[in-house]
Amino acid sequence: MFCYQCEQTSKGEGCQTIGVCGKDETTAALQDLLIHAIKGISSYAHRARQLGAIDAEIDAFTIQAIFATLTNVNFDPERLVALIHRAIQTRDAARALYERASVQAGIVPVEVGGPAAWIPAATLEGLLDQSRHALLPVRFLAESKEIANLQELVLYGIKGVAAYAAHALALGASDPLAFAKIHETLEFLTHPATTAEQLLAAALAVGELNYRVMEILDKAHTAAFGNPVPAKVRLGARPGKAILVSGHDLHDLHALLKQTEGLGIQVYTHGEMLPAHGYPQLKAYAHLAGNYGGAWTDQAAEFDDFPGAILMTSNCIQEPKAAYKQRIFTSGMVAWPGVRHIADQDFSPVIAAALEAPGFNASGYAEAGGREEITVGFGHHAVLGVAGKVIEAVKAGAIRHFFLIGGCDGARSGRSYYTELAESIPKDCLILTLACGKFRFNKLDFGEIGGLPRLLDVGQCNDTYSALQIALALAGAFECGVNDLPLSLVLSWYEQKAVAVLLTLLHLGVRNMRIGPTLPAFLSPEVLALLHEKFNLMAITTAEKDLAAMLA
């Protein structure tokens, strides 16, 4: 195997025996083959679209299948093999769509090769053999490493876009133009003769696409659940039966809340589900009881201690311990061998497991030495509602600088940098945060500034659009560009959603960003030098040194 799509990849170079995430060679090979098959779908879907032919089922399967290949999503070889064969069926449907459109247009359909002509082996052993001859490690030997790296950068950006698009689609929101661009980009990646310049342009175009898709997702969330409002979230748990929900999928959380209403079961959020407490339609459920635990990286210990059922939605699953494997469930594209999967949002097995588990005793649970509650819900509607107060505080000198410290959490020790940075920021500065990286510091007490909490939790990584709207609104209010604001962006990355977000920021021309804890292994020194020259993108150093530079 060879995989370097996440920040924690082995030795900062690539996992070659087993993934740091826990996936083995079989899982890695099947995910690569699934992407290979999806490129075949897009080869025909893109051509069909150019002739005005569109199929919603083809589009939906494409983004859902891509989502299954993100880091910490699908580890189940059986389900991945099924997805590969379904991808071939979908590719055949896309081919038929293209051929019918060609006949209607009076042209001769083109015979497409490459992934569009690939025939998967009938057995698992055969599939694994095919993977050894067609995919990333072979390309590194056969062509420019820089070109292969840039192709992967574009692909990882598309993976992030597909994840956001899948979240939106679950809520009934989509955009034909976004699907068209996804197919176009994947078809583009089937051509080996692309240049570094073309691939960099394609990467920035993926950033533009991601901005569009994040906007669609933002509107889908607010249409379904209302605009987030500041809300205090209980840390810990109440006495009684319990279900813990992790991941990102608010759609699944909402369905579970409806199905558990009146059953005496308390529902708790974990990880990226924390922002759910800011949405009016979700916080209206009295049994949405609070947040338990922190980021996905701590799940093994936290799930082991949780005395109820656990539901993993969207992504971020780790290998379950035997102690809780029988009471953890997956939904959507998430899968782990031997873990029960929930289809069609029928959460009755989760509910049954919660009722069988002991639940919390009469004293409940409180985080040792921690705070009793934290505040979430500072999406762009909430922040812009008090924009006048913020602007006046800046003009009066009460707010000197803004920091956006956001992104993924991970297990590397270097991520303590983000805690140190947040703790060191002067008290006349405002901190915006989002995504699970905030669990490094979001339970600290930062106090207030200008009548506002100094730490404003914007939401999930899915809510990056919201943070961008805040920055753009501030730039508009001060009649300057985003790069002219007293604003510093410090990002932590782990998986492919973060890659898509980075490409969006670069597309928007945002400069002077710091990224860590390490730089992507799939960016060559030449590309990193170019991004530093054009955008002043830089690696983090130490909290003390970086803070001094940002405030200078």
The class that CATH gives domain 10-224 is mainly alpha
Neighbours of 57 (CB within 10 A): 9
Residue 348 reports pLDDT greater than 80 = yes
DSSP 8-state code for residue 122: S
Q: Please tell me what DSSP assigns to residue 204.
A: H
| Pairwise CA distance, residues 153 & 199, whole Å | 9
Confidence of residue 148 (pLDDT cuts 50, 70, 90): confident
Task: Check: pTM over 0.85? Answer yes or no.
Answer: yes
For residue 239, pLDDT beyond 90: yes
The neighbouring-strand residues paired with 162 are none
Residue ranges, CATH 3.40.50.2030, the chain: 231-356, 377-551
For residue 526, the model assigns a pLDDT of 86
Share of the chain above pLDDT 70, in %: 97
Query: Cα–Cα distance between 338 and 322 in angstroms, integer?
Result: 11
pLDDT at 135 (0 to 100): 63
What is the tens place of the pLDDT at every residue in 459-484?
999 999 999 999 999 999 999 999 99
Tell me the CATH number of domain 231-356, given options 3.40.50.970, 3.40.50.2030, 1.20.1560.10, 3.40.50.10480.
3.40.50.2030
β 538-539/265-269 pair status: unpaired
Instruction: Give the C-alpha separation, 448 to 244, whole Å.
Output: 31
- DSSP code string of 68-98: TTSTTTB--HHHHHHHHHHHHHHHHHHHHHH
CATH class of 377-551: alpha beta
- Among the listed ranges 106-120, 271-285, 517-531, which one has the minimum average pLDDT value? 517-531
In this structure, are residues 430 and 399 in contact, taking their beta carbons and an 8 Å threshold? yes
List, in order, residues 6 or more apart from 549 with CB less than 8 Å away: none
Element (H, E) at 39: helix 25-50
pLDDT of residue 369: 64
Contact 71, 496 (CB under 8 A): yes
Instruction: Name the segment(s) of the chain with CATH classification 1.20.1270.20.
Output: 10-224
Distance (Å, rounded) from C-alpha 421 to C-alpha 188?
Answer: 41
Mean pLDDT of 40-51: 98
